[in-house]
Structure 1
Amino acid sequence: MTGLYDEIRIAIHSVWNRRWLALAIAWGFCLLGWLGVAMIPNSYESEARVQVQTQEFLSNKVGISANDRARNIQQLEQTLTSSTNLEKVIRGTELGQTVVSDREMAGKVEGLRAKIEVKSEQDNFFAITVKQSSPKLARDVVQKLIDVAEEDSIAGDRKETGQTLRFLEKQIQDRQVALQEAEAKRVEFETKNLGLLPGIGSVSQRLASARAEITQIDSQLVQARSALAALNSQLAGTPQSLSTPSFGGGGASASPSQVALSQALADLGAMRARGLTDNHPDVIAQKNQVANLRAQAKASPSTGGGSGSFSTPNPAYSSLQSLRAERQASATALASRKAALEGEISQLTSQQTAEPGVAAEMTRINRDYDVLKKQYDDLVAERNNVALRGDVETQTDAVQFRVINRPTLSSVPAAPNRPLLLAMVLFAGIGAGAGAAFALGHLQTSFPTAAKLERASGLPVIGSISQMLSSEAREERRRKLKLFYTGSFALVGVFALLLVAEFVQRGITA
């Protein structure tokens, strides 16, 4: 510990003995350092925070998904500092006043890109930071960058939509021409092979349709013939006329039983005319009632003088005949239609066997036409969808800029930190002077203490004599110390003046 203390004393003594050298070096180092700091240009920073909002109006209807909105935001972030946008920013601010050539513009663009920082934050927030030589210019650049990005987003959407619509219109026109050619080809082929391919559709399709219709007619014909047979059996059991008793003397009248019998027979004929069979419960009950009334009519005497009978047409029989004629006509029509379809099937089968190539060609033409028609319809639907989507994105501002924090205007330079740099130069100058004095002391062959001389020579040192100064020498020493202190305080004073000048300049800039 004593050795370390001695070394510290020796170092301080060595520096103190060469204090003028240390002060001179400190002054020179500080002046050069402060000059270098003064030559560093100020860089002011302006920052703004914006939120990019995506419009969700009719998003699901026109196919604008969440991935599309995320892609739009990502593209916006990538194109925010594109060369085109930065060129617009330069021309819209003071930076473009000195640009006279494309080469200078390219250099300005690269320099501005290096001074712009875009940070993506959560919830579609962006922090835009710009560094420039003046606070007003930095703020103007940030504001212009936001304006250009917003205009570029809207114009980009319209441009992309316009290009897509032009492409779809070209494709629709091409498909329309091809569709017209296919239609003309199909009409020409059908006209040329009219005798071989009558009707609509291919031979196979028409054969399948005819066979399906024959199957349906067979079922209807069976039902019609069954109904006709049942009606014939009902007609066979229905009398053509009804016997009605008559009485002489012109004033004869039928008995109540005979009148009821006539009414019951008419009701029975009406039931059979409706298609009810003899096994129907209502028909059975009505027949029983007719039998009872017939027995009563035979047993009851006639009223009035003289008796006789005459026959009248049965209305039920007439109704059943009309219904039978109608059902016979329906069955005949179905049989005729079946015969016509069988003849058509025979003709189509013979045509298909005789000309299989014509049928195959017709099938191919129809298939090509259907494919072109589907493509044309899909393209028309896609064009309408893109047009609606473009209207939604442009007219409703699908991408909106919301400025959360407006561009700042700071009077404090973001770089350099001059007060810190000035202080660092001061301490570095003092350290450089002290270090130079200490190094020079080690280079000289002098011994500040007797112990050090004894260790260096290996001989015992009997004693040491202190320096004796006269009064004139002491006065001279005090005068030099005053000069040294004055020089030291002057160095610190220059540092303080530089700090004051820096803060005054900031106030003037603000």
Structure 2
Amino acid sequence: MSFDLKFYFRIFLIRLPLFLAVFIPAVAIGLAIASSLPKKYRAQAFLLVESSQIPSDLAASTVRTELSDQVQVIQQKLMTRDNLLDLAYRFDLFSDEPDLQPEEIIARMRDRVWMRLTMGRQQATIFTITAEAKNGETAAGIVNALVDQVLEQDAAFRTEVASDTLLFFEKEVRRLGDALDAANTRILDFQNKNVDALPETLDFRMGRQSLLQERMTQIRREIGQLNDQRRRLSELFQTTGRTEAQPRRALSPEEEELEQLNAELREALSVYSDTHPRVAMLRSRIGTLEAVLEARNPDAEPETPGERVFNAQIVEIDSQLEALHDTISDLEPEIASLQATIERTPTNAITLSAMERDRANIQSQYDTAVSRLSAAATGERIEVLSKGQRLSVIERAVPPARPSEPKMILMGAGAVGLGLVLGIVAVVLREILNPKIRRPAEISKKLGITPLGTIPFVDTPGERWRQRGLRSAALVVVIAGIVGALIFIDRQVSPLDQIAQKVLRQGRL
């Protein structure tokens, strides 16, 4: 038995009132349920993560936190308990539920507010803020309030970081400046206390010491020459009574010994000081011999002119010797002082080098801090003027014209689909439960005979009027359903004139 499409189509037309009686109420009920669901309006705002407006090689910001990371931090701050409760109370979102607990309010707010950061290679980084509410104005108000908070927190964070960086380096420059002044003061005090033993004057003092030592040697040489001259003059005068050179007479043994002792005394004075034991011994022996010689000539003649000349020469020589000895007395302390300062110089050099090294380290840190302070001031100025990385609003939220939920088109299509299924099921069940035989094939199948012919069923006038009435009623129901669907679409989905304009516009294209 082949599938008879015309037969089933006629059956469907016969059962069309039943189909419409099921289809239209099902669609109406579905649309009514969709209309009765609470409406939710969704508003969105878009922010752009902008890069710095000033090239980093010219002037860099001191805020080194990645703006995408900062956005995530801001997102966490916006979704905190206090902020969500503040938004809920500010926009009076749950006024119809006064018994709602704060924890439940926070849970619902987190379901109604969400944020998303979209980023990728070679594409702009977009920060999207979305909120749902019972009306479009409230949803847009929540989103715009969050946008203002994002911009405020971003600007505050970047300005605060730049200001803190600038303040840190200002304190660091002051601290290092004070440390540098203290180091300079310590060096100056040390130099003032050891001004006579500084490394800078070591060469001068060593030269001065060498010069004084040479002067001492020369003076001692002159003293030896004067002592020798005085001795010869004395010997000449004692032996001849005259001061000018005369032929030398024969000397006695005592006089020869005295002359030898005087020669030894001169040699000793050229090596030892006046207080040396050998010098004292020689002078004692010379004094003894002179006393012996004077005892041999007790009868001395009165002072003669030659003696006066002799005494004058002796006085002159003695005065020169005294002056030279005084010079030695003056030079010895200075040489000793120079030697002491020279011995102190290496220690002072080590100490001063350590102090100067510390000062150089502080100076290096100070110069680095000053350089970074300048960079921090520039970075702080960049952030104050909003010339660095920042968030800018691409599009603020506007009140949506239509609710985002429930999705009327989808629910309307679902209602129509459900109505079609229920209508077809009703028609199929009606036919399955109908015991009447309509086709010859059914006679053969049920009775097992082959009919010779079939007589069609002829409706009575009453049946025809009843069928016409049912069809008219079905037509009225269909028209009412179509009108109701159009009203539903116009009010819940989109105005019909706008839909017509879109269709005409696409037709022209």
* TM interval, short-chain normalised: 0.5 to 0.7
**Displacement of 1:429:** 0.7
**Displacement of 1:155:** 1.3
CA distance in 2, matches of 1:410, 1:96: 17
1:198-209 alignment, distance < 5 Å = 198-199=198-199
1:41-56 alignment, distance < 5 Å = 41-46=38-43, 56=53
Deviation by residue 1:139-163 (Cα, 9 ceiling, x = unmatched): 4344434433332232112211233
Report 1 or 2 for greater relative contact order, CA contacts < 8 Å, sequence distance ≥ 6: 2
- Residue type of the alignment partner of 1:29: A
2:418 is the alignment partner of 1:392: no
- Residue type of the alignment partner of 1:84: L
Instruction: Specify the alignment match of 1:161 in structure 2.
Output: 162
- Residue type of the alignment partner of 1:113: V
CA distance in 1, matches of 2:463, 2:482: 29
2:439 is the alignment partner of 1:449: yes
Quick one: structure 1 residues 503 and 389, their matched pair in 2 at CA, closer, same or farther if it must change by over 3 Å?
closer
Deviation by residue 1:345-390 (Cα, 9 ceiling, x = unmatched): 99979975xx7xx876765554444334422432343234313321
Quick one: structure 1 residues 63 and 503, their matched pair in 2 at CA, closer, same or farther if it must change by over 3 Å?
closer
Instruction: Specify the alignment match of 1:39 in structure 2.
Output: 36
CA distance in 2, matches of 1:498, 1:177: 81
2:147 is the alignment partner of 1:152: no
Deviation by residue 1:49-70 (Cα, 9 ceiling, x = unmatched): 66666664696554349xx79x
Instruction: Specify the alignment match of 1:74 in structure 2.
Output: 68
Q: 1:375 aligns with which of 352, 365, 376?
A: 365
**Displacement of 1:476:** 3.3
What RMSD, in angstroms, separates the aligned Cα atoms of the two structures?
Answer: 5.3
**Displacement of 1:402:** 6.1
Instruction: Specify the alignment match of 1:285 in structure 2.
Output: none
- Residue type of the alignment partner of 1:63: A
Quick one: structure 1 residues 73 and 470, their matched pair in 2 at CA, closer, same or farther if it must change by over 3 Å?
same
Quick one: structure 1 residues 143 and 199, their matched pair in 2 at CA, closer, same or farther if it must change by over 3 Å?
same
**Displacement of 1:434:** 1.3
Q: How many residues align?
A: 360
1:130-209 alignment, distance < 5 Å = 130=130, 132=132, 133-168=134-169, 198-199=198-199
Deviation by residue 1:134-193 (Cα, 9 ceiling, x = unmatched): 33334434443443333223211221123324544665677678768877887898899x
Q: 1:97 aligns with which of 75, 80, 92?
A: 92
Q: 2:78 aligns with which of 81, 84, 88?
A: 84
Name the TM-score, length of structure 2 as normaliser. 0.53
Deviation by residue 1:9-30 (Cα, 9 ceiling, x = unmatched): 3433554555454334324422
- Residue type of the alignment partner of 2:463: A
Instruction: Specify the alignment match of 1:302 in structure 2.
Output: none
- Residue type of the alignment partner of 1:83: K
**Displacement of 1:406:** 5.7
The answer as to whether partners of 1:161 and 1:390 remain within 8 angstroms in 2 is yes
The answer as to whether partners of 2:39 and 2:403 remain within 8 angstroms in 1 is yes
Q: Determine helix, strand or coil for the equivalent of 2:456.
A: coil
The answer as to whether partners of 2:49 and 2:127 remain within 8 angstroms in 1 is no
Q: 1:487 aligns with which of 431, 452, 477?
A: 477
The answer as to whether partners of 1:53 and 1:401 remain within 8 angstroms in 2 is yes
- Residue type of the alignment partner of 2:23: A
Q: 2:22 aligns with which of 11, 22, 25?
A: 25
Quick one: structure 1 residues 475 and 404, their matched pair in 2 at CA, closer, same or farther if it must change by over 3 Å?
closer
CA distance in 2, matches of 1:102, 1:397: 41
Quick one: structure 1 residues 383 and 468, their matched pair in 2 at CA, closer, same or farther if it must change by over 3 Å?
same
Gaps of 5+ in 2: 95-99, 208-337, 498-509
CA distance in 2, matches of 1:442, 1:345: 137
Instruction: Specify the alignment match of 1:473 in structure 2.
Output: 463
Q: Determine helix, strand or coil for the equivalent of 2:2.
A: helix
Q: Determine helix, strand or coil for the equivalent of 2:9.
A: helix
- Residue type of the alignment partner of 2:138: L
The answer as to whether partners of 1:411 and 1:506 remain within 8 angstroms in 2 is no
Gaps of 5+ in 1: 214-343
Quick one: structure 1 residues 500 and 124, their matched pair in 2 at CA, closer, same or farther if it must change by over 3 Å?
closer
**Displacement of 1:38:** 0.9
CA distance in 2, matches of 1:135, 1:506: 21
- Residue type of the alignment partner of 1:490: A
Quick one: structure 1 residues 452 and 179, their matched pair in 2 at CA, closer, same or farther if it must change by over 3 Å?
farther
1:225-264 alignment, distance < 5 Å = none
- Residue type of the alignment partner of 2:444: E
The answer as to whether partners of 1:94 and 1:137 remain within 8 angstroms in 2 is no
- Residue type of the alignment partner of 1:199: P
- Residue type of the alignment partner of 2:163: G
Instruction: Specify the alignment match of 2:226 in structure 1.
Output: none
- Residue type of the alignment partner of 2:472: K
The answer as to whether partners of 2:42 and 2:131 remain within 8 angstroms in 1 is yes
1:110-125 alignment, distance < 5 Å = 110-114=110-114, 116=115
- Residue type of the alignment partner of 1:163: D
The answer as to whether partners of 1:45 and 1:135 remain within 8 angstroms in 2 is yes
Deviation by residue 1:421-441 (Cα, 9 ceiling, x = unmatched): 435523431332113322553
CA distance in 2, matches of 1:31, 1:153: 51
- Residue type of the alignment partner of 1:430: L
- Residue type of the alignment partner of 1:3: S
Larger Rg: 2
1:219-298 alignment, distance < 5 Å = none
- Residue type of the alignment partner of 1:394: V
**Displacement of 1:474:** 3.4
Instruction: Specify the alignment match of 2:420 in structure 1.
Output: 430
- Residue type of the alignment partner of 2:376: V
- Residue type of the alignment partner of 1:9: K
Deviation by residue 1:376-409 (Cα, 9 ceiling, x = unmatched): 4323432343133213321465467766656445
The answer as to whether partners of 1:83 and 1:109 remain within 8 angstroms in 2 is no
CA distance in 2, matches of 1:12, 1:83: 65
Quick one: structure 1 residues 169 and 464, their matched pair in 2 at CA, closer, same or farther if it must change by over 3 Å?
same
